[in-house]
A and B are shown apart, each in its own frame.
Chain A
Amino acid sequence: MRDKRSLILHLAVLAALLAALPLLSAYHVTNVAKIMVLAVYAMGYNIAFGYTGLLSLGHAMFFAAGLYAAGMGISLFGLSAVGALVLGPVAGGLAATLVGLLALRTAGVAFMIVTLMFAQAGYLTILYFVRYTRGDEGIVIARATRAIGSVDLSADTPRYLLAFGIFALALLLNLALVRSPFGRIMVAMRENEARSRMLGYNPYTVKLTALAVSGVYAGAAGAAYAVLFGYVGASLASVQYSILPLLYVLLGGAGTVLGPFLGALLMFYLIDYASSATSAYLFIVGAALILLVLFAPKGILGTLRERHARWLP
């Protein structure tokens, strides 16, 4: 019953996103396509942070792994757009596994610092190999290569549809994951690691698996960003891009499947409107976050779940 209800809710959200396409102006079509890609990234972040309790400050590295695997794959090695979209999640998952193998020897604040350091090292590596990565200036992916068959992915509608397809797949897999037996173990690890160990679960392998899945999501989002928006630059690997998914997840609701998307949507448009109104738009974003922490510390959907809808996954 509650499974059916939540499945219907998630399918309804997907249907609404698809139905919105003909109603939105070109400007908003581009925005929502970008939001869906960023939401995939935030969903991945949420798997590590929201469900497993791993507060990472280094996810930009996993996003960038997918981004550069796709971008450099296309521009340097002649990879196809489809090949890039497959390579991205592999690169993201691999990066997360390698970082996790070392970083998961720590926990709490130390884990935050270690992941931050790894991501900064990754960022500086991108700047250092400027010959291949083009550093801050970035790689602009030729429009001709951003296509599947004869479909031009830089055009508004195909871009929206592909972003939607990746988002829908990521959302439904996320839903299946958190309802699976492994999903329950991830939550158990977040809630009480000592107890979980004494129920026979190895904290290290559970957390490493969750982090790897999280990296696959981040890498998929990075590759989608490169292919759909045609730009691959070092700024997308900076610490700001590690914080961004954290903010989305906190706003939408950590440990909820739809929270990352809701957070990305609201934060994106909050920044969009605030920055058109004032140059001090970060002030408005900051005020919104303070209000959030004061009145809904579990995020919008987290608070909703607590008060009204315990069935929300």
Chain B
Amino acid sequence: MAAVTLLEARGLTRHFGGLKAVDEVDFDLRQGEIHALIGPNGAGKTTFVSLLSGRIETQSGRITFDGRDITRLPAHARVRLGIAYTFQITQIYAALSVFDNVALAAQSRGSHPLGAAAMEALARVGLEARKDQIAGTLSYGHQRLLEVAMGLALKPRLLILDEPTQGLSQGEIETFNGIVKSVVPEATVLLIEHNMDVVMELAERITVLNFGEVLATGTPAAIRANPAVQSAYLGA
């Protein structure tokens, strides 16, 4: 079966002064896969997904999503097309209730009835009992899960998760893994992750970035066996 490409980047470039944060990157995302993006600190992972989500403007290169050129589309319009991004540093509405946080996401998607859609997303991450709590008073792990719930409530076609398991306990990581597995194949997941156990458990394909360039792309087994990756990253 030929895989359908959902998102395609060609020659994607973003420099900050002399720093080549993302340099001439070609990248393909297949419909319905879980794709992990790994690489050492400063490899350009967050910059790269920021280019995909539109939070940072592309200098040169081209991004197509579902056959449509989105390179110049502002971030909020890309979200409307179905590209959801969850932040590396938790970005919730700390002063609003848990329910309102998720309702804002569901409302953006035009979900109706709103309350049911929001509660469904909360139930998927196990936060439905805390719907009336002020989001800022949640524990850190629960705030991360709320962030994921907001991503789910957007009913995205592509869910970009930027280091979602950072700071989570082992039990919370297992919950999280289950959530991500339940999202595919209806949606596609692009995951930036440092926790190799999570990557190996979830990812069908892995792309390794180093100094703003793609070092390798392949299955977990191929990546593990790749000598260039080993010397650059896995430290074997």
Residues of A within 8 A of B (CB): 181, 184-185, 187-188, 191-192, 194-203
Question: In the assembly, what is the distance between CA of A197 and CA of B104, in Å?
Answer: 11
Question: In the assembly, what is the distance between CA of A192 and CA of B105, in Å?
Answer: 13
Q: What are 23 pairs between A and B in contact, CB < 8 Å?
A: A181-B107, A181-B114, A184-B107, A185-B107, A191-B94, A192-B91, A192-B92, A195-B87, A195-B91, A196-B104, A198-B53, A198-B85, A198-B87, A198-B91, A199-B76, A199-B79, A199-B104, A200-B77, A200-B79, A200-B80, A200-B154, A201-B76, A201-B108
Question: In the assembly, what is the distance between CA of A195 and CA of B93, in Å?
Answer: 8
A-B contact count (CB 8 A): 60
| 9 residue pairs, one from A and one from B, having the closest CB atoms | A200-B79, A200-B108, A195-B91, A191-B93, A199-B108, A202-B76, A200-B80, A197-B76, A188-B104
Q: Does B33 contact A (CB under 8 A)?
A: no
Residues of B within 8 A of A (CB): 53, 55, 74-77, 79-80, 84-85, 87, 91-96, 100, 103-105, 107-109, 114, 150, 154
Pair A184/B100 contact, Cβ less than 8 Å: yes
Pair A184/B85 contact, Cβ less than 8 Å: no
Which chain A residues lie closer than 8 Å to B77 at the CB level? 200, 202
Which chain B residues lie closer than 8 Å to A188 at the CB level? 93, 96, 104
Pair B74/A202 contact, Cβ less than 8 Å: yes
Closest approach, in angstroms, between the C-beta of A306 and any C-beta of chain B? 10
Closest approach, in angstroms, between the C-beta of A178 and any C-beta of chain B? 13
Question: In the assembly, what is the distance between CA of A185 and CA of B100, in Å?
Answer: 10
Pair B154/A199 contact, Cβ less than 8 Å: yes
Overall SS of chain A's interface? helix
In the complex, residue of chain A having the shortest beta-carbon distance to the beta carbon of B90: A195
Question: In the assembly, what is the distance between CA of A202 and CA of B114, in Å?
Answer: 20
Closest approach, in angstroms, between the C-beta of A88 and any C-beta of chain B? 33
In the complex, residue of chain B having the shortest beta-carbon distance to the beta carbon of A206: B76
Which chain A residues lie closer than 8 Å to B92 at the CB level? 192, 195
Pair A198/B93 contact, Cβ less than 8 Å: no
Question: In the assembly, what is the distance between CA of A184 and CA of B104, in Å?
Answer: 7
Question: In the assembly, what is the distance between CA of A187 and CA of B135, in Å?
Answer: 15
Which chain A residues lie closer than 8 Å to B103 at the CB level? 184
Q: Given A184-B100, A187-B96, A191-B96, are A199 and B91 also a contact pair (CB < 8 Å)?
A: no
Question: In the assembly, what is the distance between CA of A198 and CA of B150, in Å?
Answer: 10
Pair A197/B108 contact, Cβ less than 8 Å: no
Closest approach, in angstroms, between the C-beta of A255 and any C-beta of chain B? 10
Question: In the assembly, what is the distance between CA of A194 and CA of B77, in Å?
Answer: 14
Which chain A residues lie closer than 8 Å to B109 at the CB level? 200
Closest approach, in angstroms, between the C-beta of A185 and any C-beta of chain B? 7
Closest approach, in angstroms, between the C-beta of B99 and any C-beta of chain A? 11
